[in-house]
Structure 1
Amino acid sequence: MLHKVAAEVFQISLMPRNSINCYIIEGVLVDSGIRSSYNTVKKAIQKIPVYQHVLTHAHADHQGCSDQICADFEIPLCCHPSEVLRTETGMVTQDYPRPQYWIAKLQQKYWAGQGHKVENTVVENDMIENFRVLETPGHSAAHISLFREIDGLLIMGDVATNMNLLTTATGLRLPPNIFTSDQERNIQSLQKLAELNPAIICFGHGPVMQNRNRKFEQFVAKCSTTF
């Protein structure tokens, strides 16, 4: 379940076929899957110690075991300032377009973890080790991504997925509208990320992608013209 992606970057695959992922980057845990991901994440950070935990955004499949991990390993939790309320309360579906929809209710009940106090916040151009913070709103109101310029490695979060969430077939896709607060803003964030010409892209959902032949930029260009 633990796969080395690049120097000091490890993918933790939390569900079959990489359908939910979190990452360890230079001693920092990025996201934590769903509540039941705890044992897998725990085993990973027992092998590769971390000193901090950061969320790309506070949805149930990204903060699920954050409270347990931060409490048990005594590490601080970090997110964007505008994600603090949902991170600390655990009410993580409140920025969905339809938070009362049955899927949102199931996520809140069975996937989401308890809220946890946020000790640090990050905004555009802050650094987490060698990764630059990029504000990439749209999927959530204050989503962030992380980019390491030295090797072009991008931690995407959910600005795009690299799988069909229903069939698990690999392929670049926009995040589902039902879980995305503003898809138009999200596509603007994709355009921002495409300008970086990332070499390696790590997704919240789907396998890591080597961005050969500018496949990601072509996907973004298509999204920009068809949305």
Structure 2
Amino acid sequence: MRPLAPGVHQLLGRPPHMINAYLVEDVLVDAGTPAARKRLARGLDGRRLSAHVVTHAHPDHYGSSHAVCERYDVPLWAGQKDADAIETSTPVPAPGRIPKLMSRMKMPDAHPVARGLREGDEVAGFTVLEVPGHSPGHIALWRDHDGVLICGDVFFNLLWPSGPPDFLTWDREQNRASMRRLAELRPKLVLFGHGRPLRDPDRLRRLVG
């Protein structure tokens, strides 16, 4: 487990930074794919866990959520508008033929959402921001006092900072608006669902123009 900021750790996957999960104080943020459950357990066993938050209802973010919540007996929290997709394991597909075909693939185990998160809610010292577009109920987590942002998939940073792929994004225009909103925060540390951490307050602003 890699420390990134006070109370914030990254659980590295294989390959590193491809699909990220974070431990924020005693809250797990995202849970990778179903194949990540053993890796997550290696990082979390022996630690106190009080809750599990999912940034958005895509199977590479809630894939091991059911297993995590069962293993550690913790509640699952997610954006209110993504709660049904997680509880039924039926993510809302992006427009187009390929996303519709992908939606027919076997999905991760469903799990009840104990708390639907809304704008302004507090999670482990972070403020919930509603940033829809990649999914209808996508959320980000923002810590104002030191500028740490957990952005989920509003941005990617696999080779360089970018928006998420269009064919995986439910509403591209809404996601662009969410990108602009987060960039205006000028975060000092950006943590992505996919990609390495970024410590450059102006990089996102240059990306969105």
TM-score (norm 1): 0.87
Match of 2:65 in 1: 66
Match of 1:225 in 2: none
Structure 1 gaps, min length 5: 164-169, 222-227
1:54 is matched by which residue type in structure 2?
V
Query: Are 1:178 and 2:176 an aligned pair?
Result: no
Whose helix proportion is higher, 1 or 2?
1
1:141 is matched by which residue type in structure 2?
P
Closer, same or farther in 2 for the Cα pair 1:48/1:220, shift >3 Å? Answer: farther
Match of 2:114 in 1: 119
Q: Deviations over 1:33-69 (max 9, x none)?
A: 0000001111111154321001100101000000011
1:206 is matched by which residue type in structure 2?
G
Match of 1:199 in 2: 188
Match of 1:129 in 2: 124
Q: Are the equivalent residues in 2 in contact too, given 1:15–1:21 (CA < 8 A)? A: no
Match of 1:167 in 2: none
Query: Are 1:156 and 2:151 an aligned pair?
Result: yes
Q: Deviations over 1:154-199 (max 9, x none)?
A: 0010001001xxxxxx201110111101111101001111111100
Query: Are 1:220 and 2:205 an aligned pair?
Result: no
Structure 2 gaps, min length 5: none
| Alpha-carbon distance, 1:15 to partner | 2.8
Distance 2:126 2:188 in 1: 14
| Alpha-carbon distance, 1:216 to partner | 1.7
| Alpha-carbon distance, 1:91 to partner | 1.6
Count of residue pairs brought into register by the alignment: 207
Match of 1:224 in 2: none
TM-score (norm 2): 0.94
Query: SS where residue 36 of structure 1 aligns?
Result: helix
Q: Are the equivalent residues in 2 in contact too, given 1:154–1:201 (CA < 8 A)? A: yes
Q: Deviations over 1:180-224 (max 9, x none)?
A: 011111010011111111000000000111115x11211121xxx
Distance 2:87 2:43 in 1: 24
Moved over 4 A (4+): none
1:85 is matched by which residue type in structure 2?
D
Q: Deviations over 1:128-160 (max 9, x none)?
A: 121000000000011000001111000010001
Match among 173, 178, 195 for residue 189 of structure 1: 178
2:132 is matched by which residue type in structure 1?
P
Query: SS where residue 88 of structure 1 aligns?
Result: helix
Match among 93, 96, 99 for residue 94 of structure 2: 96
Q: % of aligned pairs identical?
A: 35
Query: SS where residue 133 of structure 1 aligns?
Result: strand
Q: Are the equivalent residues in 2 in contact too, given 1:89–1:116 (CA < 8 A)? A: yes
1:205 is matched by which residue type in structure 2?
H
2:5 is matched by which residue type in structure 1?
A
Distance 2:132 2:164 in 1: 12
Query: SS where residue 134 of structure 1 aligns?
Result: strand
